[in-house]
Amino acid sequence: MVAKLLRTIVQGGIDAILPPRCGGCGDVTDTTHAVCADCWAGLRFITAPQCACCGYPFELDDSANIFDPSGNGANTLCAGCLQRKPAFDMARAALVYDDCSRDYLLRFKHADRGDLTPLLARWLFQAGHGIWDHTDLIVPVPLHRRRLLARRYNQSGLLAANLSRMSGVSWDGLVLRRARNTRSLGGLGPSSRKREVGGAFGVDAARAIKCNLAGARVVLVDDVLTTGATANACVRALKQSGAMHVSVITVARVVR
């Protein structure tokens, strides 16, 4: 009781000196790690109906691009997953990748805005509803050591650590490694992206044993799902090292 009162007093003092601000526009808000009403209105959250595999959002009347083998709507697949199943078992994203969400992610990745981590992690946690209770390990998409030294932090690692605290699921930022320093994938087409990340990821055998990767149900965390090339390359490495089931959770995904 006393400890709780002290935390309340300390937090009140911090808020008086450094009031909570909107993660979007920076205006003062009533709640920490939140966004104001105007910024909230600009966010496009992904909800059902969506592809049961990759999470691609459907229009309510878009029956031409979906197929449900069960006939009950629970296993609806998009045309892309019907044509070629991804390496991952499931993917979910919190937001549509557009000008609004891009601004959050660019600041988070390249402008030292680690303070956005709790906000983005909360959206990720909600996007993964129903997944966390069946997860054994959370793994972030790794950066190559050169890029990590230049940026000083791995944004996916920050998200994974927060998701671990929220879900109670352990995380490991070293079991999956980027063995080759790939170039930026921005501006590359699907086939070029696939070639660029082919063989770029591997699993540390000692860490795999330590975190019980064999037979594990893993959640792979990244910031954006574009063509799925990076996610698929990571998932293949994890499954080749014994992971039983791998889901992908991202802050945003491209919707075409």
Over the stretch 147-179, which tens digit does the pLDDT of each residue have? Answer: 888 888 999 999 999 999 999 999 999 999 998
pLDDT in tens, 186-211: 666 777 777 777 778 999 999 999 99
CATH number of the domain enclosing 166 = 3.40.50.2020
What pLDDT, on the 0 to 100 scale, is given for residue 209?
97
CA distance 159 to 250: 10
Structure confidence by residue, pLDDT tens digits, 3-45: 554 455 444 444 455 678 888 888 887 777 788 999 999 999 9
Is residue 21 located within the same domain as residue 96?
A: no
How does 61-81 read in b/e, with b if 16+ C-beta sit within 10 Å?
eeeeebeeeeeeeeebbbebb
Residues 148 and 75 in one domain: yes
pTM for the model stands at: 0.86
Q: How many domains does the chain have?
A: 2
Same domain, 49 and 27: no
Question: Do 151 and 24 have their domain in common?
Answer: no
* Structure confidence at residue 13 (pLDDT): 46
- 28 and 59 co-located in one domain: no
Flag the least confident range among 18-22, 124-128, 252-256. 18-22
Q: Residue 35: which H helix or E strand, with range?
A: none
Q: Distance between CA 220 and CA 171 in Å, rounded?
A: 10
Please, what's the b/e burial string for 143-158 (b: 16 or more CB within 10 A of its CB; e: otherwise)? beeeeeeeeeebbbbb
pLDDT value of residue 69: 53
Instruction: Give the pLDDT mean for 235-250.
Output: 98
6 plus 59 within the same structural domain:
no
Query: Which is nearest to 141 in space by CA: 33, 217, 250, 48?
Result: 250
d(CA 255, CA 61): 17
- Does residue 112 share a domain with residue 142? yes
In sequence order, what are the beta bridge partners of 66?
78
Domain that holds residue 127: 42-253
Note whether 48 and 74 are same-domain residues.
Answer: yes
Q: How far is 115 from 91, CA to CA, in rounded Å?
A: 25
**Is residue 34 domain-shared with residue 53, that is, in the same domain?**
no
Residue 125 sits in the same domain as residue 243: yes
Which sign does the torsion angle of CA 81, 85, 91, 96 carry?
negative
Does one domain contain both 8 and 71?
no
Predicted confidence (pLDDT) per residue in 72-114, tens digit:
456 889 999 999 999 999 999 999 999 999 999 999 988 889 9
Q: Are 15 and 47 within one domain?
A: no
